[in-house]
Amino acid sequence: MTTREAFLAKVRAAQPEARPRPEVPLFESAGGDPRARFTAALEAMGGACVEASSAREVSALICERFGATASVASATPEIPGTRELAAGTAPASLQDVEVGVVRARFGVAETGSVWFSEREYVVNALGYIVQHLVVLLDPAQLLDGLQDVYRRDDFREARYAALVTGPSATADIEGVLIRGAQGVRSLTVVWITA
C-alpha cells in the first residue's frame, strides 16, 4: 500500500457515522411578486436583471455589454460561445475568458440567488474565473425562500451546490467596496424561458 493509499484509508476509517439531515421548517412566505423580490434582492447585492425573449437577444446583449470581440464560454447549448467548454476542459484554460454563460436550475426570490451544481457549470471554474457571468433563468423556476431549496431532489442529488448572489465583492480594506476581488466582476440574470 502506498503512502497515499494508507493516508486515505485512515481518513475513511475516521469518518463519523452518517446522520440524517435535520428537518428544515417551512417559513411563511414574504408574499408579493417573487420575480420583483428576486430582482430587488439581486440588485441590492450588485447584480442586474434583464429580459430576453430569445437566445439571439441574449447573444446581442452579450455583444452590446461586453463587446463584439469578447471571449465567451457557454455552458448551455442555447447560447454559442467563442471558446469550447466540455467536461474535460482544463479549468485553468478559462483564465482569459471574459464572459461565462450558464443556465441556473432555479432562483431564490428571498435572496436573489441562483443555484448551480456540477451539471450546470460543466467546468466548476466557469462561475469564478471569468470576468462576467451571464445567467439564464426561467421565471417559472423561482422558489420563494431558502428553505424550499432543501426540499428539492436536485439539491440532494448534486455532488455540490452553489447559491450565487451577485458579483464577487469585498469591503474589508478601509470600507471601500471592490467588485470582482475574488471572482466575477458582474453578474447579470437574464429572464428567459427554458
Residue 7, in any domain of the structure: no
Residue 20, in any domain of the structure: no
At 137 the three-state DSSP class reads: strand
- Predicted local distance difference test score (pLDDT) of residue 59: 96
Q: What is the pTM of this model?
A: 0.85
- Predicted local distance difference test score (pLDDT) of residue 155: 85
Tell me which residue range forms the domain holding 95. Answer: 32-191
What is d(CA 94, CA 71) in angstroms, rounded to the nearest whole number?
Answer: 10
- Predicted local distance difference test score (pLDDT) of residue 172: 77
Residue 1 has pLDDT above 80, yes or no: no
Question: Based on the number of CB atoms within 10 Å of its own CB, is 173 exposed (0-12), middle (13-18) or buried (19 or more)?
Answer: exposed
CATH number at 127 reads 3.40.50.10420
